[in-house]
Chains A and B, each alone.
Chain A
Amino acid sequence: MTSTRTTGDARGPEVRRQSAVRALYAGNARAVLGRELAATRSTTWTVILSGFFEPVFYLLAMGKGLGAFIGDVTLPSGQVVSYAAFIAPGLLAVSAMNGAVYDSTWNVFFKMNMGGRLFQSMLTTSIGPLDVALGEIAFALLRGGAYAAAFLVIMQVLGLVLSPWALLAVPAVLLIAFGFASIGMAITSYMTTIQQMDVINTVLLPMFLFSATFYPITVYPEPVQWVVKAFPLWHAVELIRGLTTGALSGAMLGHLTYFVVMIAVGITFTAKRLRALFLD
């Protein structure tokens, strides 16, 4: 009986590869994004606003409050900046991460497993798993991007933007959000119970606290530094901090590469997993 399948596969690797791409992607991610925007109309705005205020509160409490006791910080470049100006870019990176992660993990989990099994119904249409992944991630990016832009405005108002390079922080934040959303969605697509979802919070909180967000990484002994550098948030914080303080360096290319790889890995696994779940 399997012989008939073998003849089906004998059309040559070229045909198979083409159809494999087509099976994954219909070039219609905007329909998925459109669905998210339509659904946003019914969500409560307090949830969306709370995600924006969280880093602002941190900035005021730690940067302004605690900062009054701490004084100034000397950057590796030798530049001396206020404590608030030191942590603000870190918090900007964190807000991008939070916005992207929230939409790509919890929201995606509910869409996959409950609430009418949204992805299942999407994938009975001509749309492919890659359309779903990109549409959802694009939506997460919109939110992450909006948070970042608003936070930059606050930084500007408080006098914490020290360089015109800070304008590039907006696209940088989008890249960071893209990376977190891709990985977040990939991980979520493998989760089947709510209990497993707790793993995400278990990773996020220590990453938030220890990724050189509130103090320079040099306070750690070298082995610990390497561990911190393995996690994405450190790269995000360093990239944004370089831009808002104007302390540019070649290492920033490394941070960019980290996120490009993160995006590629995340999207590949998400599309694979969605295909296995709903189309096999």
Chain B
Amino acid sequence: MTVISARGLVKRYGDLAAVDGIDFEVPAGESFGLLGPNGAGKSTTMRMVGAVSARTAGDLTVLGLDPDTHGPEIRAQLGVVPQEDNLDLELRARDNLVVYGRYFGISRAECLRRADELLAFAQLEDKATAKVDDLSGGMKRRLTIARALINTPRVLMLDEPTTGLDPQARHVLWDRLFRLKERGTTLVLTTHYMDEAEQLCDRLIVVDHGRIMAEGSPAELIRRYSTREVVELRFGTDRNADAGARLESAADRVEVLPDRVLLYTDDGERLLEHVAREGMRPTTSLVRRSSLEDVFLRLTGRSLIE
């Protein structure tokens, strides 16, 4: 069953097209990602799907309903984790869940029962009566996710779920999201972290300037748009461009970034040996597997995080 279907979706603000005609479908149970740099139109797309922003043109159905005419019905079945936490600072952690559940018209008794369950899921049982301001960034994020689950949504929408969190907090969060995915919750998330997309997404679209650049599973995209391995060499800011030019023929593709040269190849070690034979002495060298970052660079000529 298709949960979200967008065709020719457009959102314009005056002359600016924040979303410029995108098509995608999300089947139930899938974990679907929108990967792109800041300002690519990811959040705007999320807001349209979340029925809090009207589309300018195109077709959009969410859970079989049109957000233009069935906004409240759609919102009742979605869980939304916005980019910036907007927890209720005047309420304690547990009350945040209960009060939010009441907005959906869920009975108080049921809200209380679910709140305890969700606090346990978010590993926040001992923070039930804590003030929101006293929680760490990771805890706030988990509380926001718990809050988004209070109406047992059919789709959980997460906008940049781990931006601003430290590595450990990110892993705790990923683990929780992975559990939801295992339970069959449909996840739709935006991110500009390729490791996050690789961890969580079954399938994703790469978005830039409001358009879709590519679509597929992380592995597919890497296979299609990049080589198996990447050699990263640093020669120093002034010499990177020259080195890149010299190695043009040795690699499948060369990208010269301000701070390093990326050489795309299927055999990184062999390429490194070639570099050594040429008598070139990079200050650092690294062979790694291709990531979605490389896919994005290939597709747009820019890196994700600038």
Q: Which residues of A contact B52 (CB under 8 A)?
A: 123-124, 278-279
Choose the segment among B79-87, B166-174, B212-220, B223-231 that binds chain A (4+ C-beta atoms closer than 8 Å).
Answer: B79-87
- Write out, one digit per residue, whether chain A residues 112-146 have a CB within 8 A of any chain B CB (1) or not (0): 00011110111111111000000000000000000
Q: How far is the CA of A197 from the CA of B50 in the complex (A)?
A: 31
Interface residues of A, count at CB 8 A? 37
Interface string of B66-103 (1 = CB under 8 A from A): 10111111011010101001111111000100011011
B interface footprint on A186-224 (CB within 8 Å = 1, 0 otherwise): 000000000000000000000000000000000000000
| B236 close to A (CB within 8 Å) | no
Among listed A30-38, A85-93, A148-156, interface-contacting one = A30-38
Query: A1-B58, A125-B75, A278-B52 in contact; A35/B99 too (CB < 8 A)?
Result: yes
Which of A19, A116, A124, A280 is within 8 Å of B80, CB to CB?
A124
B10 CB, min distance to chain A CBs, angstroms: 6
Q: Chain B residues with Cβ under 8 A from A31's Cβ?
A: 99, 102-103, 105
Decide yes or no whether A79 CB sits under 8 A from chain B.
no
Q: Given A38-B99, A121-B100, A19 and B86 touching (CB < 8 A)?
A: no
A38 touches B104 (CB 8 A): no
* Cβ contact of B8, chosen from A1, A128, A279, cutoff 8 A: A1
- In the bound complex, what is the Cα–Cα distance between A162 and B282 (angstroms)? 96
Q: Mark A1-43, 1 if CB is under 8 A from B, else 0.
A: 1101100100100011001001100101001101100110011
Give chain A residues whose Cβ lies under 8 Å from the Cβ of B73: 126
Contacting pair A8 B69 (CB below 8 A): yes
Task: Say whether B290 faces chain A, with CB atoms less than 8 Å apart.
Answer: no
A168 and B66 alpha carbons, distance in the complex (Å): 48
Q: Count A/B pairs, Cβ under 8 Å.
A: 99
Given the interface pairs A26-B72, A121-B100, A124-B80, the reply to whether A116 lies near B87 with Cβ below 8 Å is yes
Q: Which 8 A-B pairs have the closest CB atoms?
A: A1-B57, A126-B76, A125-B103, A39-B90, A31-B102, A121-B86, A19-B69, A126-B72
> Which residues of A pack against B, CB within 8 Å?
1-2, 4-5, 8, 11, 15-16, 19, 22-23, 26, 28, 31-32, 34-35, 38-39, 42-43, 115-118, 120-128, 278-280
Chain B positions near chain A (C-beta within 8 angstroms): 8, 10, 21, 50-54, 57-59, 66, 68-73, 75-76, 78, 80, 82, 85-91, 95, 99-100, 102-105, 132, 151
The contact sample of 27 A-B pairs, CB cut-off 8 A, is: A1-B10, A8-B68, A8-B69, A16-B69, A19-B70, A22-B72, A26-B105, A31-B102, A34-B102, A35-B103, A38-B91, A38-B99, A39-B88, A39-B90, A39-B91, A43-B90, A116-B87, A116-B88, A121-B82, A121-B100, A124-B75, A124-B80, A124-B82, A126-B73, A126-B76, A126-B104, A127-B104
